[in-house]
Amino acid sequence: MNFCLTYVNEGLVLVLNVKIAKMTVEQLDEVMEVENLCFKIPWSRNSFIEELTGNKFAMYFTAGVNGKIVGYAGMWKVFDEGHITNVAVHPEFRRSGVGSALIEYLIETAKENGIARMTLEVRRSNLAAQKLYRKYGFKECGTRKAYYADNSEDALIMWKDDIRG
């Protein structure tokens, strides 16, 4: 799926053609670059390989601009629920709409796969991500105390109910 995004960066109006596609093992060098830039405790390459090749519940997608991976997102389908495992956007492409395109794609994929509701965890301090998720109807429904191993930060649990509606 292709998205055409227009955004302003340092006073310039930029247009991005973003291609969202199923993640492949061959893309993992670029995915790992984004992963390592975005997370204090990044997933390992082997974790991604296992998700892509061994987890029948997993669905992962990349966002590419001019043939370069600039973001990715994934979720698990567990019965009629979708659990978003990760969403990451290269720092140079944040606030460009790439994150929104990935979330929209996950929601559409969930609808196509009979998923009724979706959930995710997000750092309490990650206000930008929380704002993005709220934009798509996710609501805070609980807390996982000391969820993140790097600093014992709490995670907010967010749900989007009835995605078909």
Q: Give 12-26 pLDDT, tens digit per residue.
A: 666 778 999 999 999
pTM of the predicted protein model: 0.91
pLDDT band at residue 107, thresholds of 50, 70 and 90? very high
Q: Which residue has the tokens 């302003």?
A: 8
Active site residues: 121, 133
pLDDT tens per residue across span 75-104: 999 999 999 999 999 999 998 899 999 999
CB-based contacts of 152-155 (< 8 A; 24+ apart in sequence):
153/123, 153/124, 153/125, 154/123, 154/124, 155/121, 155/122, 155/123, 155/124
Fold held by 2-160: Aminopeptidase (3.40.630)
- Sign of torsion over alpha carbons 66, 68, 71, 72: positive
